[in-house]
Amino acid sequence: MFEDTRPAELDATGDTDPWAPFRVGSASERLRVLRDLRDQAVPVMLHSAGGAAVTATLWTLDAAQQSLSFNADGAEPQLARLAESDEVVAVAYCDSVKLQFDLHRPVLVRSATACALQCSLPDELYRFQRRNAYRVRPTERPSPVAQLRHPAQPDLVLTLRIIDLSIGGCALWLPAGVPPLRVDTLLDEMRCQLDGETRFTAAATLRHVSPPAHERGGLRGGGVRLGCEWRQLGGPAERALQRWIDQAQRRRRLLILA
């Protein structure tokens, strides 16, 4: 059966589940992913709903006891806030994949030589593609655009064409004559409109500026290409973007089969 013709999965209420394509459904596969995080000592970012954030590493994984623990800096003041929170999310980047899961019942355990944050094994784990895994060059008309205020001139509102984008970032076209932007500039509020139904607001960091080119992606006139990395997509924004990228992948496969 072709992937595009498989019925969409449903959630507990009987509605279509938009997260189904990204969920690691098998318990054995979740254990394998977690073991990779532990064995490779991949940094894991722990965030609470209250704003506390700590970077740790997965220290132990006990499948029999259905538990795991994170090795963290005991002197970190936000660690106690994490342990007191009812909502803690773990995010890690392994190769070209973003992994995300919730921490259930976190408990802070201290000893004379170490400090660990213990919790239950996650019953859900999500795997998302990052920028270098799949990149979309929009073909829609009108073209997707991003609207933002110029960091050096807040009164100047820019509406820039989106050249390509992914779950990790996007590339914008800055026409000639517009005041330049510097690398590592923080773009605190970028309103992206991808089509008539898909729009979201996100923050980004300008990572590189390509030199002027005679022609790039059908654009002429001496502009520059701005390579931006999302700083942190909110849940609705990430969900909207991931769905749009998934639809673009499906359209591409259909064109190849046609």
Using alpha carbons only, give the angle 154, 223, 182 rounded to the nearest 5 degrees.
Answer: 45
Omega prior to 142 cis, within 30 of 0: yes
% of the chain residues with pLDDT over 70:
77
For 164-193, how does the pLDDT look when each residue is reduced to its tens digit (9 = 90+)? Answer: 888 888 889 999 889 989 888 999 899 999
pLDDT value, residue 83: 80
List Cβ neighbours of 199 (8 Å cut-off, separation of 6 or more).
Answer: 191, 192, 193, 240
Of residues 88, 100, 92, the one with CA closest to residue 238: 100
> Whole-model pTM above 0.75?
no
Model confidence at 218: pLDDT above 50: no
pLDDT value, residue 258: 46
3-state DSSP call for residue 147?
A: strand
Model confidence at 157: pLDDT above 70: yes
Rounded to an integer, what distance in angstroms lies between the CA atom of residue 11 and that of residue 172?
A: 36
Q: Are strands 153-165 and 88-94 parallel, antiparallel or unpaired?
A: unpaired
3-state DSSP call for residue 219?
A: strand
Under the banding of pLDDT at 50, 70 and 90, the label for residue 153 is very high
- Please, what is the average pLDDT of the chain? 78
Cβ(169)–Cβ(230) under 8 Å? yes
Model confidence at 14: pLDDT above 70: no
pLDDT value, residue 201: 92
Domains and CATH numbers, the chain: 3-129 (2.30.110.10), 145-257 (2.40.10.220)
pLDDT value, residue 41: 84
Of residues 109, 112, 161, 107, the one with CA closest to residue 139: 161
3-state DSSP call for residue 117?
A: strand
Residue range 114-141: average pLDDT?
73
Min mean pLDDT across 29-43, 66-80, 155-169, 208-222 is at 208-222
Under the banding of pLDDT at 50, 70 and 90, the label for residue 130 is low
Cβ(102)–Cβ(88) under 8 Å? yes
3-state DSSP call for residue 161?
A: strand
Q: Which helix H or strand E contains 238, and what residues bound it?
A: helix 235-257
